[in-house]
Amino acid sequence: MGRVEHPLIGINGVSSGGDAPRVELAYRYADAILKAGGVPVVLAPVGGPTDVRRALAELDGLLLSGGDDFDMARLGLGATHPQAKPVPGAKQDFDVLLARAALERRMPVLGICYGMQLLALVEGGSLLQHLPEDRPKAREHRGGALHSVTLAPASKLARVVGIDRMEVVSRHHQAVAALGPAWSVAGRDDEGLIEAIERNDLPFALGVQWHPELAPEGSPHDRIFRGLVGAAGVAAAQRMISLAAP
């Protein structure tokens, strides 16, 4: 089956509130997509379900980027931890719509940090809201902490990167506690914390808790972005064939 050489990859950004809300995106996300062969497209958190579906219909893949924390009460999942710094409500609502719609469309999707947690939460997962408080004596994961992650040998992620252990950069204090039935664990750190998730029933649906875009160029982390772009290229070719069919 063929593939489109430079598929369009949507990326959600970080939002600020106030009188003049704006969307911002660290260049490193777009740069990683560009170097992997894709064309990055920044998505502003505006519109409702119809607008989200319309936007995704023009894209071939989706990158859910890192960000701050979740307003758990807004998700109907109980109280929000006092140490949490929730993203603006409009952004969280948009991101939830975006993640659900992408998965329903079977669109290739990669979630990074907040993005991985988002993928888990929209399909029945739960969250550790503040580390290390929720895991006493656990290592620190904030501020660019360096540690290793062991990948599940039979996981798609292990096949994508070609190795079973990775050195990663972490910038988070929240983490996935448990997954809904559609998802499986693709990697853990040496303390058992979930560090990567995937859906085996979809062509490419992957979440990583670390920041592969911060790894040195030429490292195995680059293969994660190439995996997303490659899957999006195949999806784009399929879409073109479908549109051309009588």
- CA-angle at 164, arms to 159 and 167, nearest 5°: 120
Q: Is the pTM of this model over 0.85?
A: yes
**Do 96 and 75 form a contact (C-beta atoms < 8 A)?**
yes
How far is 113 from 92, CA to CA, in rounded Å? 14
| pLDDT at site 245 | 63
Q: Looking at domain 8-244, what is its CATH homologous superfamily? A: Class I glutamine amidotransferase (GATase) domain (3.40.50.880)
How far is 35 from 54, CA to CA, in rounded Å? 27
pLDDT along the chain (246 residues), means of 10: 87 80 88 97 93 95 94 93 89 96 97 97 93 77 87 96 94 92 96 96 97 93 98 90 71
- Show Cβ contacts of residue 113 under 8 Å, excluding neighbours closer than 6 positions: 65, 66, 67, 171, 172, 208, 209, 210, 211
| pLDDT at site 116 | 97
Hey, where are the domains in the chain?
A: 8-244
| pLDDT at site 243 | 74
pLDDT digits 0-9 by tens, 3-60: 888 999 999 988 776 677 788 888 999 999 999 999 999 999 999 999 999 999 999 9
How many C-beta neighbours within 10 Å does residue 189 have?
21
Nearest CA to 111 among 202, 196, 226, 203?
196
132 prior amide bond cis, ω within 30: yes
Which two tokens mark 164? 């079973």
| pLDDT at site 53 | 95
How far is 39 from 41, CA to CA, in rounded Å? 7
| pLDDT at site 100 | 97
Active-site residue list: 113, 211, 213
| pLDDT at site 214 | 93
- CA-angle at 203, arms to 99 and 41, nearest 5°: 50
| pLDDT at site 23 | 84
